[in-house]
Amino acid sequence: MSTYTCPKCGNVESIRPAAKLFYTMNEVADLFEVCRMTIHREIKRGNIKAIKFGKVVRIPAQSLKKYLAAT
């Protein structure tokens, strides 16, 4: 977390980084501490929704939240 100091008044505010909207399969595998193939299987089963842009697969953050709530 970083901070921002207002140049006019000198107030210091903490800034949280913006949440990611999409994750790669590798990022999701790292988050869940499983192999990439496990995430691939969950996508194929329909348990995790993913979006394919050409050859690139991205997993929406909302899809991960739904998956975690269901398990």
Average pLDDT of span 29-42: 95
pTM above 0.75, yes or no: no
The CA distances from residue 63 to 4, 11, 25, 45, in Å, are 32, 37, 13, 14
Q: Alpha carbon 51 to chain centroid distance?
A: 13
Q: Indicate the SS3 state at residue 60.
A: strand
Q: Residue 35 pLDDT more than 80?
A: yes
Class of domain 19-70: mainly alpha
CA atoms within 13 A on the CB side of 48: 25
Q: What is the pLDDT of residue 15?
A: 65
Q: Kindly list the domain boundaries of the chain, sorted by start residue.
A: 19-70
Contact 38, 29 (CB under 8 A): yes
| Residue 1 binned pLDDT confidence (cut-offs 50, 70, 90) | low
Instruction: Express as a percent the part of the chain with pLDDT over 90.
Output: 65
Q: At 9, is the pLDDT very low, low, confident or very high (cuts 50, 70, 90)?
A: confident
